[in-house]
Every structure is written in structure tokens, then in C-alpha cells.
Amino acid sequence: LGSAPGKIMNGHFASTGGEATREQYERGIQVIDEDKEFSDKLSTYLQYEKIIPAGFNYHIISVFGSQSTGKSTLLNYLFGTEFGVMSEQERRQTTKGIWMSKNKRSGAERESRRMADNILVMDVEGTDGRERGEDQDFERKSALFALATSEILIVNIWEHQVGLYQGANMGLLKTVFEVNLQLFIKDSKSIPRSLLFFVIRDHIGSTPLSNLRNTLLADLARIWDSLSKPAGLENSRIQDYFDFAFVALPHKILQPEKFEQEVEKLSTRFREGYRDKKTEGLIDQDDQPLLLPEYHRRIPADGFPVYAEGVWDQIVHNKDLDLPTQQELLAQFRCDEIAREVLVFFDEQIAPLESQQSRDAQAGTPSVIANLGKIMNASRAGVFKDFETEASRYHKGVYSRKRTELEENVDKRLKDLFQGQLQAAHKAGIKGFSDSVSSAVKVGQKKGAHYDFAQIVESEKTSAYTRFEEVAAAAMIEGASWSNAAREIALFKKELDQVSSQLRKEEMRRLATRVERWVRSRLGESIGLEFNKLGSGRGGSGAPETGDNLKQSSTSEKEIWDRIWSIFIKTVSEAEERFTDRAKSYDASSEEVEVGIWRLRRKSWGVLRAKIEEETSEGNIGMKLRENFEDRFRYDEHGVPRVWRPSDDIDGLFARARDHTLTLIPLLSRFKLSTTSGPPPLDEWIGLAPATVTAADEEDLTPIGGVDEEEGKSLEEEMLVFSDGRVADVERRFRKTADSVYVDAKRGALGGVTQ
Ligand code: GDP
Ligand code: MG
């Protein structure tokens, strides 16, 4: 993970190994050919020579001079290059255009005198060439090119040419100076200095080098003075732009050994060093290093091919060569290229996660990606570090702009991943929470134990919250201000609360159902008993049937509704207590409890109504009335069955018993309290719907007359057990039953048949 230095640049250059390439580049590369075409192989060559990854650790040196002055020969000796040289016999121009080759020598044995790394030497076509005739144009253009790129310009000159002001070399130098003024006029602040290094050939020795040097310096000053300078630069001195160095070499053919010795010595001066303040522009001491930092053009090696080509293109098309602009263009081009390259590795890490996330999101099954934070952090740090390593060498303004662009691009993608992760964690967390609460409740129910719902919710909530915070923390990106989950964490917490309250509602519904069931069974029993008492008119006391007893029994019958109502109220209030206790332990709010009780009362009323209907159904009521009647008619005050004798007042007993039972029918036809002679205060007891009741709370409720006004049914109607029609019908049936019992009694008395 992270930085992938090996990846950078490799994609850009075809494989450069192999014998063919070695042969192809043995003699360097022709950067610019005789048709002024720039080579498309320069970057391949620099890759082959391993210069591309060198950053600023490389140097460019050019050589100038009249044709056939032994320039190529000198370079080959100095740098072990294999530039073409003219054979002694032929005397024809060999170097065409501009060639470049890497230094092949390693220099001296002693480390302190070792040649600099990665020296690139440019052999520039000689001037006043026979082939080109007086091609001033090419001479000018190649001088511009060399000046724009090179740290050292070697001026190769015969000793006998020194002082010949009209000589070809001086013409060339005039060109170099003019071109230099033209080149750097744009931006006088950023003028890099160059070293003009005079190599005086075939030095016989009779004139000391210092004399030759003074002559040359005087000539140079004269040339400089003669130039017409652009406005603002009228008083500029040649030393403002150039340093100078001089060396003299012996005759190569007459003194070959001395020549080689001197060249050997000279080669070691191509090493890096610092300016000696005393020299004042003359790098002229024996053995002084030549490669000073201020000569470097500060073009990163990997950008050199593009830069050089851009510069040449401007030169060839006679455009004003504006180096700062060229450097900005280069920076833009290379920064974009580097950004693409560093993003390749970033993509390998991040793109699969992006597509996984979007696939899952589309399928509606967002999932938390394992190790996302780690991968994102490493990829982000890696991509920025790679970019910085390669791109920060370029123009600072462009670099920082491009870095911002890259950061925005990278961070936008990471931010999406980050948020997708939090969304997935949110969804999974909420679902996990409600699932684990449900299953904990199920386990609690199975055990039958009194499980603590509130505690289950609390502990599952805490663990869901902690898990979410952990995922959020793990997805956090170091140093990215946008990677902040505070809002998401708050949202998650809020939804947890909502879901908890939903779950509590459901749990309360379950509780309410349990309590209702309890009410149903309690009422079933106790209300059933009340109705059964009707069957034993005298309360089965066995006490003699005195007037008191009769009165008691009928009083007790008359109060059946009072008792039912009070049993009902008492049962429901017990149920309410159970409900409230339990609901409080769920952390239910008092509003929720209030709604629950309201519902419970209404439902309980329904239960009671159903029980009453059951007890007063056609079959049941007939049986109850018959039992009530028979109990009085067929049994004596001691509860002993009567054996009818003709002397018995059958008619009287019959009429009393029947009339008594007949009073029950209107009594039972309406739920009415004896104390008020009105319906029970059901409306008051249920009360108004609490303010917090929702539609869902009301969904399964049956309307109650007199309570739900809009039903158009009064409380009286709600309390109606039989209609008037039904009263008559029940009475008619009862009379029939009683009559047949009477007939049987009569018959028994006459026949003396006991039953
Ligand atoms: P270039 O055109 O400047 O690159 O010159 P070359 O390197 O091709 O050499 C031109 C000719 O000068 C060749 O015949 C060389 O043998 C010869 N030559 C090279 N070095 C010297 C030298 O130091 N002194 C003299 N007199 N001749 C040389
Ligand atoms: Mg040559």
C-alpha cells in the first residue's frame, strides 16, 4: 500500500533493454537533425540512460566552435563519448544538427575529484559549415537552444585565432550574446548564469594562458559594448550573465601524450562545487570545479524532453522564446501527467471499493467495507506523497495548483466512500439493534421470566451506538477536515431513539394484549357467576322462605348491574395497575401509559359487553329464567323439592314465582344502576381520548355509544341488552316454559306422581 515509486514513469516508456537499443544509442542521440526536426526518441534515450528518474541531479554541457576545430574529438576524450569525428583525410563536416550523449567516464579515482553524475553533452554542429554555407539561421537557433538548456558552453578555439576579432569565433560569440539578451530580456529576475568555458587548442606555450585570457576578455567586452541593448539593459555588463573560465590544451597530434594528460586533468573539473567569492566571475583557478548550482536550469529530468522540445519548437517557429512561460507550460503538462500516473495506483486500491459500494447501494444492501479507513488513509497519503515527490520540482505555483486539483479529486472520491460507509453502518446498525432487541425479548418470553425490556433496549442501544462510533472512527481520514462523522453520529443516535420508542410501543401493545386477556378471563368467571346466581333465586341459602329472604333475594337480583359494574371497575383497575407497573419499567412516558389505559378501558368494556351478550343469548336467558322460576316454584324454603298435593296452593305459588321471574326480564334488558336508575357512568369512566392518541392507537377500537359522540348512539342505547321486541319475545317464551311446568305440577298433584 501507499507509495509506489516503481510505478511512476514505467508506463510511459517502452522497454528499452536489448542489444538493438544498446547499438542504437551507443553514439548518443541526434536531438535535432539537419532538417531542424526534433527527435521523438529523446525521452526513450534518457530513460535508457537512467536520467529520467534523476530529478535535478543531471547536467547539460554544450560545445560551440568553428567547424573542424576538433570539438567532437575533445568531447570524446573528455567524456568518453563516441561522437563522429572527421577522418584526417576527408575534411568534411561530420556533426550535423545537435547530438547528445551521456558522459561515459567515471572520472578520477579520488572521490573528491569524481565527475558529476549524469552529465549530458551536446555536440552542436559547427559554424561556417561548408554544407550549409553561411547558414546563420541554424547557428543562431542552435545557440539559443544551447543557452536555454546548458549550464556550460564550451567555446572551442585555436590558439592562433585568439585576438582575431574578425574571426569566425567572434562572430559566433556575438550571436551568443545577442541571443542571450533576447532570451532573458523578458524576465531579468530569473536569468540563470551560464559558464562560458574557453578551451584553447594547439597551445604552443610561448604565450601564457593569462595573456590569452586577457586578450579574449578584452575582445568579449568589446563585442558586448558593440551590441545594441534593449531598453533598461543599456548599462548591463557581460559579467551579469556569464562566468568565464579558460584552459589551454596542447596539440593533439604533435603532443598526443601531453594532450591526453591535460584532458584527463580537465575532465575532473566537471564536478559540482561552490563559487569562490574571490574569483568574481572567473572560474579560473587550476582545478576549480566547473558545475556551480546557479548554472542549473532547474528543469526536472523527467520533464526535460518535453521542455527541450517546447523550447525548440518556439525557436524554429521564430517565436519569442519566453523561458518562464515554457517552464509553466512544462509544469502544467508534467503535473497533469504525474497526477494521472499516481492515480493509477490509487485507482487500483479505490475503484474496486467504489464499485462494490455502488453495486450494494443499488441492490439496496449497503454493506460496511472492512478496513476501508486503512485503505483510504494509505492510498490518500500514498497518492499525495508520490505526487509531491515527482511534481514538486516543477514551477511552484503550477505545482500547488495542480496539487489542490488532485486533492479535490481524490478527496471527493474518498468522501463519497466515507459517507457510503457511514450510511451502510447506519442501516446495518439500526437493523441490528431492532433485531437483537426482538430476539432478546423472545428469549425472555420463552423463559417465561419477567424480562426487563427497558434494560434490554438500553444495553442494545449502547452497543449499537458504540459499534457505529467504531466504524466511523475507523473510516476517519487523517488530515482531512471533511472526514467528520459528528452529524452522522447524531443522526444515528436520533434514529436509535426513534426505533427504541417504536419497539417500546410494540412491547406495550404486547403487554396490553396480555392484560386484556387477563381481564377477559377474570370477567368471564366473575360475571358468569353473577348470572348464575339468577338461577338460584333464593341464593341457595337453604334458609326458610320468609318475607325477609324473599326480599333479600329480590334485592340482590335487582342489584345485579350494580355488582357487575363494580366487579368490572375493580377488575379493570387491577389490570390497570399491572399495566402501569410494567409499562413504567419499560421507561414508557406518562402519555404512553395514559393512552394504554384509555385503550384498556375501552377494550375491557368490549369484553364485558361480549360477556353480557353471551349470558343473555337466546338459550342462556331462557335457561336462567326457567331456573329462577323453578327454584321458587318447585322447591320449598328449605330447598327441598315439593311433592304436590291437591291441597297445595299451586296456583298461588305459581303466580308468585312466575311474576317474580317476569320482573327480571325488564331488569336484564338494560344495564342500569339501581342507585341512580340510570346507566353506569361509562363515559366518565373512559374519559376523553388523551391528546397523544394516534390513528394507529385507534385503529382496532370499536366505537362506544355515548362515549364516541359522532357514532350517533347514546349511552342509553349502548346499555341496551334487549330491545322492547326482544323483551316481549323472551317473556312469551318464558311464560310458555312456566306454563308447562305448571301443567306438570298440576298433573303430578292429581296423579300423586312425584317428580
Ligand atoms: P569538429 O568538426 O570540430 O567536431 O572536429 P573533429 O573532432 O571532427 O576534428 C576535425 C579534425 O581535427 C580531425 O581530423 C581531427 O583529427 C583533428 N583534430 C582533433 N583534435 C585536434 C587537435 O587538438 N589539434 C589538431 N591540430 N587537430 C585536431
Ligand atoms: Mg564534430
Could you tell me if the CB of 251 is within 6 A of ligand 1? yes
Amino acid at 241: Y
| Range scoring the smallest mean pLDDT among 111-115, 416-420, 621-625 | 111-115
Q: How far apart are CA 426 and CA 335, in angstroms?
A: 39
Nearest CA to ligand 1 atom 20: 70
Q: How far apart are CA 556 and CA 534, in angstroms?
A: 9
pLDDT band at 453 (very low <50, low <70, confident <90, very high): confident
The helix/strand/coil state of 123 is: strand
pLDDT band at 97 (very low <50, low <70, confident <90, very high): confident
pLDDT tens per residue, range 212-223: 999 999 988 888
Q: How far apart are CA 223 and CA 178, in angstroms?
A: 10
More confident residue, 177 or 571: 571
> ∠ at Cα 237 (136, 178), nearest 5°?
15
Could you tell me if the CB of 563 is within 6 A of ligand 1? no
Total Cβ atoms within 10 A of residue 656: 14
pLDDT band at 163 (very low <50, low <70, confident <90, very high): confident
DSSP 734: H
Total Cβ atoms within 10 A of residue 159: 19
pLDDT band at 109 (very low <50, low <70, confident <90, very high): low
Question: For the residues 597-626, what does the mean pLDDT come to?
Answer: 94
Look at phi and psi of residue 244 and say left if phi exceeds 0, alpha if psi is from -120 to 50, else beta. beta
Question: For the residues 562-578, what does the mean pLDDT come to?
Answer: 96
Q: Ligand 1: distance of its center to the CA of 674 in Å? A: 143
Assess contact for 44 and 14: CB atoms under 8 A. Answer: yes
Residue appearing with cell numbers 319475545: 729
Q: How many residues comprise the chain?
A: 755
Q: Tell how strand 119-124 and strand 59-65 pair up.
A: parallel
Q: Ligand 1: distance of its center to the CA of 218 in Å? A: 27
Q: What is the ipTM of this complex?
A: 0.99
Distances (CA, A) of 629 to 179, 319, 529, 651, 735: 139, 131, 18, 14, 10
Q: Ligand 1: distance of its center to the CA of 600 in Å? A: 118
Q: How far apart are CA 145 and CA 98, in angstroms?
A: 10
Distances (CA, A) of 132 to 62, 127, 128, 596: 20, 9, 7, 109
Q: How far apart are CA 475 and CA 419, in angstroms?
A: 9
| φ, ψ for residue 720, nearest 5 deg | -75, 125
Q: Ligand 2: distance of its center to the CA of 98 in Å? A: 10
Radius of gyration of the chain (CA): 57
| φ, ψ for residue 84, nearest 5 deg | -65, 135
Q: What pLDDT is stored for residue 543 in this prediction? A: 40
| Range scoring the smallest mean pLDDT among 12-21, 525-534, 692-701, 703-712 | 12-21
Distances (CA, A) of 278 to 69, 210, 383: 33, 17, 47
Q: Ligand 2: distance of its center to the CA of 32 in Å? A: 14
Which ligand minimizes its atom distance to the CA of 87?
1
Q: Ligand 1, closest atom to CA 75?
A: 7
Assess contact for 8 and 77: CB atoms under 8 A. Answer: no
pLDDT band at 646 (very low <50, low <70, confident <90, very high): confident
Question: For the residues 148-165, what does the mean pLDDT come to?
Answer: 88
Ordered strands of the 152-158 beta sheet: 29-32, 98-102, 119-124, 59-65, 152-158, 194-201, 242-248
Q: Ligand 1, closest atom to CA 66?
A: 3
pLDDT band at 15 (very low <50, low <70, confident <90, very high): very low
Could you tell me if the CB of 69 is within 6 A of ligand 1? yes
Could you tell me if the CB of 253 is within 6 A of ligand 1? yes
Q: Ligand 2: distance of its center to the CA of 94 in Å? A: 6
**What sign has the CA pseudo-torsion 371, 374, 378, 380?**
positive
Cell numbers linked to 108: 578520477
Nearest to 374 by CA among 405, 355, 353: 353
Amino acid at 52: I
| Range scoring the smallest mean pLDDT among 401-415, 418-432, 582-596 | 582-596
Residue 255 above 60 pLDDT? yes
Q: Ligand 2: distance of its center to the CA of 28 in Å? A: 13
Q: Over the chain, what is the mean pLDDT?
A: 86
Distances (CA, A) of 58 to 71, 100, 119, 147, 271: 22, 13, 6, 16, 11
pLDDT tens per residue, range 355-378: 999 999 899 888 899 999 999 999
Q: How far apart are CA 555 and CA 546, in angstroms?
A: 14
> ∠ at Cα 435 (432, 436), nearest 5°?
85
Assess contact for 50 and 302: CB atoms under 8 A. Answer: no
Nearest to 681 by CA among 709, 719, 711, 713: 719
Q: How far apart are CA 218 and CA 215, in angstroms?
A: 5
Could you tell me if the CB of 490 is within 6 A of ligand 1? no
Residues whose Cβ atom is located within 5 A of ion ligand 2: 72, 95
- HSE-up of 110 (CA within 13 Å, CB side)? 7
Q: What pLDDT is stored for residue 410 in this prediction? A: 96
Residue 737 above 60 pLDDT? yes
Amino acid at 430: I
Q: Is residue 328 exposed (0-12), middle (13-18) or buried (19+ Cβ within 10 Å)? A: middle
Q: Where are the alpha helices (DSSP H) in 536-589?
A: 547-558, 560-585
Ordered structural domains, the chain, with CATH: 49-84+92-319 (3.40.50.300), 332-484 (no CATH), 501-626+667-723 (no CATH)
Nearest to 5 by CA among 307, 349, 344: 344
DSSP 110: S
The helix/strand/coil state of 14 is: coil
Distances (CA, A) of 528 to 461, 521, 613, 614: 47, 10, 11, 9
Residue 735 above 80 pLDDT? yes
Angle 396-447/372-391 helices, nearest 10 degrees? Answer: 180
Q: How far apart are CA 124 and CA 539, in angstroms?
A: 137
Assess contact for 172 and 139: CB atoms under 8 A. Answer: yes
Nearest to 378 by CA among 482, 479, 484: 479
More confident residue, 215 or 321: 215
Amino acid at 117: D
Q: What pLDDT is stored for residue 129 in this prediction? A: 45
Question: For the residues 261-274, what does the mean pLDDT come to?
Answer: 92
The helix/strand/coil state of 459 is: helix
DSSP 543: -
Question: For the residues 396-417, what does the mean pLDDT come to?
Answer: 95
Assess contact for 124 and 142: CB atoms under 8 A. Answer: yes
More confident residue, 467 or 543: 467
Could you tell me if the CB of 71 is within 6 A of ligand 1? yes
Residue 230 above 60 pLDDT? yes
Residue 7 above 50 pLDDT? no
Nearest to 419 by CA among 475, 473, 465: 475
Q: What proportion of the chain, given as a percentage, has pLDDT over 90? A: 56
Q: How far apart are CA 169 and CA 166, in angstroms?
A: 8
Nearest to 63 by CA among 201, 155, 174, 173: 155
Question: For the residues 98-125, what does the mean pLDDT come to?
Answer: 85
Residue 709 above 80 pLDDT? no
Q: How far apart are CA 666 and CA 722, in angstroms?
A: 9
Cell numbers linked to 454: 427497558
Question: For the residues 169-179, what does the mean pLDDT come to?
Answer: 78
Q: What pLDDT is stored for residue 143 in this prediction? A: 86
Total Cβ atoms within 10 A of residue 37: 13
Nearest CA to ligand 1 atom 18: 70
Q: Tell how strand 98-102 and strand 29-32 pair up.
A: antiparallel
pLDDT tens per residue, range 502-539: 898 888 888 999 999 999 999 999 999 999 988 775 54
Q: Tell how strand 194-201 and strand 152-158 pair up.
A: parallel
Residue 616: strand pairing partners? none
Residue 593 above 60 pLDDT? yes
Q: What pLDDT is stored for residue 554 in this prediction? A: 64
